[in-house]
Amino acid sequence: MMILASDYDGTLKIKNEISKEDKEAISLFRSCGHKFGIVTGRSIGMIRNELKALNFDYDFIVGGNGAVIANDKGEVIQQFNIEPEAAMQLIHHVLLDEANMIGVSNGIEFGNIQDGLIQEDKNHNELIHTEMLNGYDIVDSKQINSFYFKSNTKEKTKMLYDECVRLFNDELNFHFNNGIIDATKRGIDKKSGIENLTHLIKGEIHVIGDGFNDLPMIEYYGGYTLHHADIAVKKKATQVFESVASCIEYISNK
């Protein structure tokens, strides 16, 4: 049995839709007894609701850049939360600049702590059927699974990323992708998420993604990417495809 773990935004969902070609290829792949799932930086609730709205079936979700795992019903079966002290230190640092936006997830739900001075990105994938909580309610619960944050310019966001890596690298992992910084517990990334998944589902692992936060799983599993990915991602991939469907055709005929 093969297991194909695909990034979502920019890999499976492109220009706010999952193509008919990809849907049909995934359906056929699963009907042959193989497993297909999503590996994403999003929270489980966010991606689960969207996939339900799109009438899209899956076998698993690895959310929060590896920090939370859900089954084929979108029910959380494993998660790795950030220590409360490390979480509060990061929050206090990011809030030093009112221009910064920071949000938090408990693995399922998410919400902003500070909106910052961020202009809407018109090129960003639309969030379908997504409701946000008050981020402070998640903080108060001390069930913090991951963070997402950025500043109001690319330059300031990169500086913020460098600062956070320098200050908090012993407690947290940082993932910089598409102008957003994600933070998880130290040692947690998409590679570790798939490793933890393999304790629950056995099979031959294949992975595909297009972003820098996909590099840990691409490098470790000899994974694949798409033609529109950054050259740095392409260099690490063993194959470059036009779509998830063409990736499925390749691994099915190996």
Place of tokens 């936006």: 101
Q: Of 212, 208, 245, which is closest to residue 231 (Cα–Cα)?
A: 212
DSSP 125: P
Q: Are residues 171 and 94 both part of a single domain?
A: yes
Task: Output the pLDDT for position 246.
Answer: 98
For 171-214, write each residue's pLDDT tens digit: 999 998 888 999 999 999 999 999 999 999 999 999 999 999 99
For residues 65 and 188, is the Cβ–Cβ distance under 8 A?
yes
| 173 vs 116 pLDDT, higher one | 173
Q: Are residues 169 and 154 both part of a single domain?
A: yes
Q: Are residues 133 and 212 both part of a single domain?
A: no
How many domains is the chain built from?
Answer: 2
Task: Output the pLDDT for position 146.
Answer: 97
Q: Are residues 198 and 181 both part of a single domain?
A: no
pTM, full prediction: 0.93
Q: Of 60, 87, 71, which is closest to residue 145 (Cα–Cα)?
A: 87
- The stretch 10-16 carries a mean pLDDT of 94
Q: Are residues 142 and 121 both part of a single domain?
A: yes
Residue 112 domain boundaries? 84-185
Cβ neighbours for 36, distance < 8 A, ≥ 6 positions apart: 3, 4, 6, 26, 29, 30, 58, 59
The domain that contains 200 carries what CATH number? 3.40.50.1000
Q: Are residues 138 and 155 both part of a single domain?
A: yes
Cβ neighbours for 58, distance < 8 A, ≥ 6 positions apart: 36, 37, 38, 51, 72
Q: Percentage of residues in the chain with pLDDT exceeding 90?
A: 88
Chosen domain end from 158, 185, 212: 185
For residues 148 and 181, is the Cβ–Cβ distance under 8 A?
yes
The domain that contains 137 carries what CATH number? 3.30.1240.10
User: How many C-beta atoms lie closer than 10 Å to residue 211's C-beta?
Assistant: 22
Using alpha carbons, list the distances in angstroms from residue 31 to 24, 34, 57, 59, 126: 11, 7, 11, 12, 30
Is it the case that residue 254 has pLDDT exceeding 90?
no
Q: Are residues 111 and 156 both part of a single domain?
A: yes
Please give the Cα distance from 114 to 123 (Å, whole number). 22
Q: Are residues 98 and 145 both part of a single domain?
A: yes
